[in-house]
Amino acid sequence: MELSDATVLVTGGAGFVGSHLVDHLLPDNEVRVVDDLHNARREWVPDGADLYEGDVTDPAVLDEALTEDVDVVFHFAADKSAARDDIEQFRGNNALTEAVVARMDEVGVTDVAFTSSSVVYGEAPRPTPEDYAPLEPISIYGASKLAEESLLSVYAHSHGFRVWNFRFANIVGPRLQKGAVVPDFIEKLRTDPETLEILGDGRQEKSYMHVEECVEAMCHVVEHADAPVNTYNLGTRTTTSVTTIADIVSDELGLSPDYEFTGGDRGWTGDVPRMRLSIEKLSALGYEPEQSSDDAVRQCVRELLDEGVFDASED
C-alpha cells in the first residue's frame, strides 16, 4: 500500500518506536495515536497527530479512533518487558491484539502492521530466517508475540486481512527507556562511575538496529510487500556483545569502570543469549540497513546522553 495521503492509526504511538513512526509518517499522512501513556510520554506525540488517550481494550477509546476511514493500523501497544515472567503478560498482550482485530473487522479495515519480536524463534541457529521452524519461544513475552502472530494469520486467511509481521532485533535510539541495556548502563554509571554490574557473563551477543532505520524498513515493507501475511525480520547483519555495549557506554562517558558479572550465560529467565536474524528477505525487497550493531549502539548512547535524562541527580 502507499503510505502517502493515508489515514494511519498507531496503537502505542506515544512510546519508543511508535512515536518515531508517527514522526516519520507526518506530515504526509493523517495520523491517529491510541496510547494509555503507561510506558510512553505525551510530549513524544508530535504536533499534527491526534492523540486518543486510553487503553486499546477500552471500546470507547478504540471505537472513536479506529473508524472505517482508517487505511492501515500499526499495532505497537503491548507490555514489552522481555524479562517479565508472568502469564498475565501473555493474556494482556493477546487481549490488546484481539481488541484491535475485532474492531478492524467490525468497521471493514483490513491492513495491519504488527510489531512482533525475534524472541518468537527461541534459541534458534544463527542467522535465523523467517521460515525457520519450529518456533519455540522460551519467554512469556515470546509466547505472547507468537500467539498474536497466529491470530493475525487467521484474520488474513479467513477475514480478508493483509498483515505485516515485523520480528524486531534489539531496537535502540532516542526515547529508549530504562529496562533496556543501554539506558540501564548509563544510569548505573551515572550513579557509580567506578563499578558496572553486568547481568550474566557479558558474552550475550545480539543484533542492534537504530530506530530510524527500523521505522524506514517497516514503511518500506508495507509499501512493497502485499501477500496476505508478510513476515520480515528487522535487524542488522552484525551483533554486539553486552560487554562491548559496556565498553561503548563507558567510552562515551569518559569512564573506565571495573565490570562485575552476575554470572551465567543469560541475563534473566527467558533471555536468549545469542541472536542474529537473517535479513536476506528484507534486502531482497530493496532495504539494506546502513549501520552496524556497534554503530547503532554508539549513536543511541550519544542521543540518550544528549536528552539529559540520566543525570546523577535524578532519582
Q: What is the mean pLDDT of each run of 10 residues along the chain (315 residues)?
A: 96 98 98 95 96 97 98 95 85 98 98 98 97 96 97 98 98 94 97 97 97 98 98 98 98 98 91 96 98 98 88 45
The residue among 101, 141, 100 whose CA lies nearest residue 119 is 141
Q: Which helix (H) or strand (E) holds 260?
A: strand 258-261
- Neighbouring-strand partners of residue 57: none
Same fold, 7-170+208-234 and 176-207+239-275+292-307: no
**Cα–Cα dist 59/52, whole Å:** 12
pLDDT reported for residue 279: 98
The three cell numbers of residue 167 are: 520480528
Q: Which CATH architecture has domain 176-207+239-275+292-307?
A: Alpha-Beta Complex (3.90)
pLDDT reported for residue 310: 65
Domain boundaries, the chain: 7-170+208-234, 176-207+239-275+292-307
Q: 7-170+208-234 — its CATH code?
A: 3.40.50.720
**Cα–Cα dist 105/160, whole Å:** 9
Catalytically annotated residues: 141
pLDDT reported for residue 311: 58
| Chain centroid offset of residue 306 CA | 22
* φ/ψ (deg, to 5) at 310: -120, 35
The three cell numbers of residue 306 are: 544528549
pLDDT reported for residue 268: 84
| Residue 313 near residue 224 (C-beta atoms within 8 A) | no
What's the DSSP call for residue 180? Answer: B
| Residue 51 near residue 14 (C-beta atoms within 8 A) | yes
